[in-house]
Amino acid sequence: MVSNPSSIRIFHIAGNEATELAAVPYQLPDKGFLWLACTRSYFSEQLGSLQLALQKLSGAPLVDLHVSDLLNPQLPSHYDYTSQYDLLVIRRLASTPSKTGSAALAAVRRTAADKPIDDAPHISTTPVGFAAWERVLLSVHPEDCTVRDAYARRLLQFARTDTSGSAPAEPDPLSNATQERLAREDKAYRAPAAAPAAGTGGVQPVRLPTSPADLMMRTVNIIVDNYLDLRRELSRHLDLWQSALLAPRKRIANWQALLEARLTLHQLDEICEDQRAAVQDWVDAVETWPLPESAGAQRELEALKVRSRDVLEHIERVVHHVRRLEQSTETAVQMHFSVQSNRANDIMRTLTTITAIFLPLNLIAAIFGMNFEFIPLIHKEDGFWWAMGVMALITVTLIGFFSYKRYLTRTGK
């Protein structure tokens, strides 16, 4: 079965060597493990051939329900298992159907920079499925396969890296958070060895995945790190919203955009909750694995547990931050309406005070406007000026009284 590089890629990983194969083998290599990474459409079209290959490679093909899970593009993140393999489905970030990976994050950045108020970032996701046997990993990706290609490029770069200590170039599709974390790992793995091998210059080669489960968790970590980057962009967007909501002279007209931003937070919260539940189930399952006999295998199992808990901690960070953003946004909305209410109270108090000042003046004018023949001061030459003087005195007195009571003072600018 000849593979199409755009539909399926096959890798043989053994120690610190990674080789890409031209076709799906039907026999396990002597050392290492195999990674079969295909698109969802290829998995659907070549299901029979892949099941046959999995039968010969691992002795246990996928069960029908798990095949349906891997083919379902709407499936939420979840974990399941059999006695032969573990199944993990994680929803990957895709900002729009045509913009995924780094392009999606760039679109969100442009949104936050150009029109932060009117254009709220939208989130759409697509599932990535993993089936991990003892020496075989099958991953089913969406059609763009940015996560697969990014990590595959990294594998091949590490495999071609000599022991001179020079780090490979970071692939573009990886998020900023992923690049920072992988750079730290590279620095740790390339630290001077206690007893370096001859000709290595005291530098250890980069450590490649040691098992299908290890490779699966590294790939899941890349998916989760994209959510960490999106979290930062959403924070910037909502900070601008909060500034606009709390600006006293800012009139918010596009409430629909704010509603969409809040719905985006709710959606991200639900996605990360499903991810956390799935990875937590995986961590609990790994804790029940029997302890290997060899010391090397024990260290690999401990490293897998640490990496799994690290992925879970990343997801929990996103969940915690999203909920804090939801609370901050809700608080900003409430404060906005409180500010608007205070402004309305200031206006009504000012209008009431002006009305109270003019009430006695209107009363005096009404009295002297009555159709009585004999009214005091009405037939005197200086009657008009007496009336105006009394009215001015009342006005000044009331203004002074209301100012003393701070009825004419605004509560805020």
**pLDDT (mean) for 345-357:** 85
Q: What is the pLDDT of residues 250-266, one digit of tens each?
A: 666 667 777 777 777 88
Is residue 241 within 8 Å of 119, Cβ to Cβ? no
Q: Closest Cα partner for 131 from 36, 9, 15?
A: 36
164: pLDDT strictly greater than 50: no
Q: Closest Cα partner for 241 from 225, 267, 271, 265?
A: 265
Q: What is the pLDDT of residues 317-334, one digit of tens each?
A: 888 888 888 887 777 777
Q: Closest Cα partner for 390 from 413, 363, 408?
A: 363
CB count in 10 Å sphere of residue 35: 27
Q: Which two tokens stand for residue 55?
A: 């039968």
Distance from the Cα of residue 40 to its chain's centroid: 24
pLDDT of the residue at 181: 55
Q: What is the pLDDT of residues 281-302, one digit of tens each?
A: 999 999 999 888 888 889 999 9
Is residue 155 within 8 Å of 299, Cβ to Cβ? no
> In order of start, what are the domains of the chain with their CATH numbers?
8-339 (3.30.460.20), 344-404 (1.20.58.340)
Task: Give 55 or 366, the one with higher predicted confidence.
Answer: 55
The pTM assigned to this predicted structure is 0.69
**pLDDT (mean) for 63-91:** 93
Could you give the CA distance from residue 216 to residue 301 in angstroms, rounded to a whole number? 14
Could you give the CA distance from residue 137 to residue 152 in angstroms, rounded to a whole number? 13
Q: What is the mean pLDDT of the chain?
A: 78
Task: Give 84 or 353, the one with higher predicted confidence.
Answer: 84
Q: Which two tokens stand for residue 317?
A: 């960070």
pLDDT of the residue at 38: 94
Task: Give 80 or 96, the one with higher predicted confidence.
Answer: 80
Could you give the CA distance from residue 262 to residue 29 in angstroms, rounded to a whole number? 51
| Rounded to 5°, angle at Cα 83 from 82 and 84 | 90
Is residue 217 within 8 Å of 307, Cβ to Cβ? yes
Q: Which amino acid is at 214?
A: D
Could you give the CA distance from residue 286 to residue 386 in angstroms, rounded to a whole number? 98
Alpha carbon separation from 312 to 8, 88, 253, 381 (Å, rounded): 28, 14, 40, 94
Give residue 242's pLDDT band: very low, low, confident or very high (50, 70, 90): confident
Task: Give 174 or 367, the one with higher predicted confidence.
Answer: 367
The helix (run of H) or strand (run of E) holding residue 97 is: none
pLDDT of the residue at 249: 66
pLDDT of the residue at 248: 65
